[in-house]
Structure 1
């Protein structure tokens, strides 16, 4: 995200993926327009073993849950 949320983060839980990576989900309550969400990018070789480096978003979407 290009800015920090204002408000306390609530930890929703954790999940360990098959590969061992630990995923932690968070929520917060605040006035926030999800249309303005902008993700950081990461780079990886894609397709595998192609020698091509491509950029991908870390976050694909943001939504409100009521």
Structure 2
């Protein structure tokens, strides 16, 4: 099975012990009752005709429902997450206040369709991210999916830098 390429934005604010990151809780029935290791950098797939940074900004807007803040994004590199390679970019989100306003419209690109329950023949739509929240770094380390954990370490080094 081929590797899927994804890209995402890791918004941060503050520094040192006050460093916080914005993560999205993954939507759908599998994640509904999970909290630990159930949050992600807002991200999504892209093809060869789109740069990872352009895809990261597009996916942020789709999944969060608001455009990413302006500013220079710094590449944090890539991580493997299951069959995906995720390239992430750090972006100062100090002025971003939209985390509490994640809103999904039925016609936007932030929904996925899947058969649920499995083998039921019933197709249901779920938001890719059902909520977003700021977390301090120790809490974020508990919340983020394990494959993305190195991104937090890289961000911490970048901000301390």
Q: Name the TM-score class by shorter chain.
A: 0.5 to 0.7
Map 1:38-53 → 2, pairs under 5 A: 38-39=103-104, 40-53=110-123
Where do 5+ consecutive residues of structure 1 fail to align?
A: none
Q: Which residue number in structure 2 is paired with residue 55 of structure 1?
A: 125
Counterparts of 1:25 and 1:55, CA distance in 2: 26
User: Which structure dedicates a bigger proportion of its chain to helix?
Assistant: 2
Counterparts of 2:75 and 2:132, CA distance in 1: 16
**The residue matched to 2:126 in structure 1 has which SS?**
strand
Change (3 A) 1:14 1:35: same
- Greater RCO structure (CA 8 Å; 6+ sep): 2
**Correspondence 1:37 to 2:107:** no
Counterparts of 2:130 and 2:76, CA distance in 1: 19
Q: Which residue number in structure 2 is paired with residue 5 of structure 1?
A: 68
Cα pair 2:79 2:85 within 8 Å, conserved:
yes
Q: Which residue number in structure 2 is paired with residue 16 of structure 1?
A: 80
* Cα root mean square deviation, aligned: 2.4
Cα pair 2:66 2:98 within 8 Å, conserved:
no
Most deviating of 28-37 and 4-13: 4-13
Where do 5+ consecutive residues of structure 2 fail to align?
A: 1-63, 105-109, 137-161
